[in-house]
């Protein structure tokens, strides 16, 4: 069974990080929040672009985060169209890291979410990835480029938030 989240009922914020990468932040449903852990990915559909196209994206989250943080590279027609819908609607805000590496959204940022964004995202997930095996090994080397660093970031954030874990040199 797949859980689908309709984001048109919750605010969507976006931040333009580089010329080719942006982040969207959306509040997950309670069912997605319960499943959320490091190294996962979600599928996103934006009916305003295509009713039938779903795209996988790594999430940079750990258990307990308030929002899903999804980093997207403008690398194709669909991701460029999503970028245009988000940034032409005024949904852009800033994000910051708080205690224990968790992404925090300030009251000011919550107020800056645009209620006028006529955009809905459908999100399925969270799905496990190969990264779930990281903790079964004594030695692991994490390497990634581009938006692939989102998954590594969630694993590193996990260890920063859980320093009692025996592991690791970061």
Which domains occur in the chain, in start order? 4-161 (2.40.30.10)
**Segment 67-101, tens digit of pLDDT:** 888 889 999 999 999 999 888 755 544 444 455 44
CB atoms closer than 10 angstroms to residue 8: 15
- Give the mean pLDDT per block of 10 residues along the chain (170 residues): 47 82 85 81 92 91 82 92 81 48 48 51 83 76 77 78 65
């Amino acid at each position: 069974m797949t859980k689908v989240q309709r984001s048109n009922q919750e605010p969507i914020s976006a931040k333009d990080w580089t010329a080719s990468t942006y982040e969207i932040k959306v509040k997950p449903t309670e069912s997605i929040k319960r499943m959320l852990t490091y190294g996962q990915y979600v599928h996103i559909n934006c009916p305003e672009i295509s009713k039938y196209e779903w795209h996988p994206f790594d999430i940079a989250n750990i258990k307990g985060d308030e929002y899903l943080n999804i980093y997207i590279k403008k690398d194709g027609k669909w991701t460029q169209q999503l970028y245009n819908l988000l940034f032409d609607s005024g949904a852009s805000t800033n994000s910051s890291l708080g205690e224990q590496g968790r992404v925090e959204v300030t009251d000011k940022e919550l107020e800056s979410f645009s209620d006028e964004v006529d955009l809905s995202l459908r999100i399925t997930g969270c799905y496990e990835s190969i990264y779930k095996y990281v903790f079964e090994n004594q030695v692991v080397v994490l390497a990634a480029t581009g938006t692939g660093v989102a998954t590594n970031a969630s694993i590193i954030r996990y260890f920063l938030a859980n320093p009692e874990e025996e592991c690791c040199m970061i």
